[in-house]
Amino acid sequence: MGFSIYELGDVSLQHGEVLHQARVAYKTHGALNSAASNAILFPTWFTGSHSDVEWIIAPGRPLDPSKYFIVVVNIFGNGYSSSPSNTKARDGKPFPYLSLLDNVVLQRRLLREHLGVKKLQLVVGRSMGAQIAFQWGSYFADEVNALLALEGSARTSPHNYAFLATMKMALQSVATEDPAIAARVGLKRMRIIADSWGFSQAWYREKGYQKLGFNSLEDFLERSLPDKIGHPEDFLCQIATWQRADISDNDRFKGDLTAALGAITARAIVMPSETDMYFPPEDNRIEIASMPNAELRVMPTVWGHRAGSPGTDPADTAFFEDAIRELLSGKWTR
Amino acid sequence: MGFSIYELGDVSLQHGEVLHQARVAYKTHGALNSAASNAILFPTWFTGSHSDVEWIIAPGRPLDPSKYFIVVVNIFGNGYSSSPSNTKARDGKPFPYLSLLDNVVLQRRLLREHLGVKKLQLVVGRSMGAQIAFQWGSYFADEVNALLALEGSARTSPHNYAFLATMKMALQSVATEDPAIAARVGLKRMRIIADSWGFSQAWYREKGYQKLGFNSLEDFLERSLPDKIGHPEDFLCQIATWQRADISDNDRFKGDLTAALGAITARAIVMPSETDMYFPPEDNRIEIASMPNAELRVMPTVWGHRAGSPGTDPADTAFFEDAIRELLSGKWTR
């Protein structure tokens, strides 16, 4: 149930700000082999943390800790790695904006400085984690053998940006001085928006909420929050990263997304959910046209952006795991 | 620029409540012919009013006031017909819930008692107005010759309900005693949600907001409100009608949607927008399977739920108008 912290010291970020006493929270499963060739990186996603992926890491499954050294790394802002909620303000400055590339560069420091990993057999991510996988494959192309991007894009689309603007609005809508109430009310408002987008029209039509244990749509929409909820400022920090996510937003690619995608030489499976309204398949279809070694593999599902998560459709999980298995079956050629 | 009010007195509603001093606001274009056979009903939609459809009513266009008697009727709750904002509370009771059928029954009283119309050559509606058109065609099947439902469904889908729950949340999120501020802030919050849903992912991808005159996505999302804005309680009233919209929710059909759809004998064109996320085509595809004389005609467009509105794509408007023309070209056979 535990996790580890790697302290990075004061870090200069991509856009000139400084993150003081930066820390990356992570958890490893399995061990690095003597050739240091069996490492897999699995970054987390919006509102997620290292514990949310443990269900898929087990002996006999594709992410098998008896074979692979699996590093689950928490994205910045998620409350475990450096986040507004666990970082003291300095000189009255707000917590800085962290880009996709900031996440990747600091994850890389953890891997190289601390874990002895210089090449990744696979980077696998979902949602924002998929965006980070794209960033890895593009910026550090020679260090990534294979890439699996589930329900995420290389650049946040204008539509996805608009959706996130409504999530921000919900979090910022709460007028109270009580931080605990602010957190609960803000999350409740944000969650109803996330629920309206996160599952598909077909899922709602088929009363998918019954499969999650709710008798009625109203019960599902009004359900209780978990006991432990995140900090609104942390959610806003992650949303900032997501809204501006763009693997070409750096000195090397200077906004040329085609070039940034073209740099991804890793064998890649880009896997949108057929019914995802955050990241519709068409966005990925456009992206893979510029990727030299990528395949678009659309997950057939009504579970929208939630497809492949625990507690949803086992067929979706199997579809995801089959792709992981396939990518890991290739020779370590780079 | 004016409009008319028809006073209905105290009205018993479908679910037992009373609407005191009910009024229907409407506007007519053209004149009823001697056979009383040229009447067209055009109900308004969520946030709309009689003036919002005038752009499509003109000599030489399909809705030609030199040929037809066109009655544009404001739905309840829109601020013109009886609404929370224009109705005094009685005995401390809140403004009542008005169903689709309440709207239709009271529109029918206006037509029969005041305008001399007993049969409608066409009921045409968009969005909630399309839902009202479905209700007309089902409950008063013998009085409707043809029906055109643009971007609306016979029953609000669970997904559409969830979307509307987020709109309610936005309107109700404002904590202020100042009604003017509450109205502006609530509307701003609601609008950003409506914008995120109202246009399609493809529209955002193609920077459709530039066609609306905005340089950037941020400008579009943050744009000013109009000078005249609606009352939050009126929006909530309309949302209540929309959330519970169901043409089978009445004593005749008792929740049997298949039967309620089967009763629609009018020649019907059901016209979803290909990219509408409020009312996706699949919802209509399921509905027309139970309608004996209906055609599904999907509007090919990226404009989502806004397709066919003024200022969007003229091709969509033409697609809509062609269908109106086609329905009006049929003989008056019933």
Span B141-169, mean pLDDT? 98
Give me the amino acid identity at A246: D
Residue B311 binned pLDDT confidence (cut-offs 50, 70, 90): confident
Q: Which residues in chain B have Cβ-Cβ distances shorter than 8 Å to A193?
A: 166, 169, 193
Which residues, listed in sequence order, are joined to residue A146 by a DSSP beta bridge?
A267
Q: Please say if the pLDDT value at position B229 is more than 90.
A: no
CB atoms within 10 A of CB A261: 25
Instruction: Please check whether residue A155 is in contact with residue A246, taking contact to mean a CB–CB distance below 8 angstroms.
Output: yes
Residue B91 binned pLDDT confidence (cut-offs 50, 70, 90): confident
How far is the alpha carbon of A7 from chain B, nearest alpha carbon, in Å?
36
pLDDT at A300: 98
Inform me whether the C-beta atom of residue B162 falls under 8 Å from chain A C-beta atoms.
yes
Q: Please say if the pLDDT value at position B137 is more than 60.
A: yes
Contact check, Cβ <8 Å, A204/B166:
no
Quick one: what percent of chain B has pLDDT higher than 90? 91
Span A209-219, mean pLDDT? 96
pLDDT at A331: 54
Percent helix, strand, coil in chain B, to 5, is 40, 20, 40
**B239 vs A90: CA distance, rounded Å:** 46
Q: Please say if the pLDDT value at position A332 is more than 50.
A: no
**B142 vs B254: CA distance, rounded Å:** 20
pLDDT at B190: 97
Mutate to test the interface with B, among A159, A188, A215, A285 (most CBs of B within 10 A): A159
pLDDT at B332: 44
Q: Could you report the predicted ipTM of this complex, rounded to two decimals? A: 0.94
Inform me whether the C-beta atom of residue A289 falls under 8 Å from chain B C-beta atoms.
no
Span B64-88, mean pLDDT? 97
**B12 vs B113: CA distance, rounded Å:** 17
- Best CA proximity match to A44, nearest among A242, A212, A177, A178: A242
- Best CA proximity match to B239, nearest among B311, B309, B180, B187: B187
Quick one: what percent of chain B has pLDDT higher than 70? 99
Which residues, listed in sequence order, are joined to residue B7 by a DSSP beta bridge?
B23
Span A67-81, mean pLDDT? 98
pLDDT at A89: 85
Residue A13 binned pLDDT confidence (cut-offs 50, 70, 90): very high
Inform me whether the C-beta atom of residue B205 falls under 8 Å from chain A C-beta atoms.
yes
Span B17-23, mean pLDDT? 96
Q: Which residues in chain B have Cβ-Cβ distances shorter than 8 Å to A166?
A: 166, 192-193, 196
pLDDT at B89: 85
What confidence tens digit (pLDDT) does each residue in B263-281 have?
999 999 999 999 999 999 9
Inform me whether the C-beta atom of residue A172 falls under 8 Å from chain B C-beta atoms.
no
Q: Please say if the pLDDT value at position A163 is more than 80.
A: yes
Q: Please say if the pLDDT value at position B78 is more than 90.
A: yes
Mutate to test the interface with A, among B155, B201, B257 (most CBs of A within 10 A): B201
The helix or strand, by DSSP H or E, that contains position A64, with its residue range, turns out to be none
CB atoms within 10 A of CB A226: 8
Beta strands (DSSP E) in A157-292 are 267-271
Q: Which residue has the tokens 């992981």?
A: A324
Total-model pTM: 0.95
pLDDT at B331: 54
Kindly report which listed range (B19-28, B84-93, B126-135) carries the lowest average pLDDT score.
Answer: B84-93
Q: At what angle do helices A232-243 and A128-139 cross, to 10 degrees?
A: 50
Positive or negative, the CA dihedral B53, B320, B142, B105 is negative
Q: At what angle do helices B128-139 and B232-243 cross, to 10 degrees?
A: 50
| pLDDT, chain A, mean | 96
- Tokens matching residue A329: 């079956």
CB atoms within 10 A of CB A23: 22
Residue B114 binned pLDDT confidence (cut-offs 50, 70, 90): very high
**Rg, C-alpha atoms of chain B:** 19
Q: Does residue A258 or residue B177 have the better pLDDT?
A: A258
What confidence tens digit (pLDDT) does each residue in A254-266 have?
999 999 999 999 9
Catalytic residue, from A83, A153, A305, A316: name it.
A305
**B300 vs B150: CA distance, rounded Å:** 13
pLDDT at A333: 53
Instruction: Please check whether residue A276 is in contact with residue A126, taking contact to mean a CB–CB distance below 8 angstroms.
Output: no
How far is the alpha carbon of B82 from chain A, nearest alpha carbon, in Å?
28
pLDDT at B176: 83
Please report, to the nearest 10 degrees, the dihedral formed by the alpha carbons of residues B194, B196, B198, B203 taken in order.
Answer: 160
- Tokens matching residue A231: 């900090």
Instruction: Please check whether residue A30 is in contact with residue A66, taking contact to mean a CB–CB distance below 8 angstroms.
Output: yes
What confidence tens digit (pLDDT) does each residue in A100-158 have?
999 999 999 999 999 999 999 999 999 999 999 999 999 999 999 999 999 999 999 99
Q: Please say if the pLDDT value at position A47 is more than 70.
A: yes
pLDDT at B226: 85
Q: Please say if the pLDDT value at position B148 is more than 90.
A: yes
- Best CA proximity match to B164, nearest among B286, B22, B329, B305: B305
| pLDDT, chain B, mean | 96
Q: Which residue pairs from A281-288 have beta carbons closer than 8 angstroms and sit at least 24 positions apart in sequence?
A: A282/B201, A282/B202, A282/B205, A283/A153, A283/A157, A283/A160, A283/B201, A283/B205, A284/A149, A284/A153, A287/A153, A287/A154, A287/A155, A287/A257, A287/A261, A288/A261
Q: Please say if the pLDDT value at position A67 is more than 50.
A: yes
Inform me whether the C-beta atom of residue B161 falls under 8 Å from chain A C-beta atoms.
yes
- Tokens matching residue B247: 């043409």
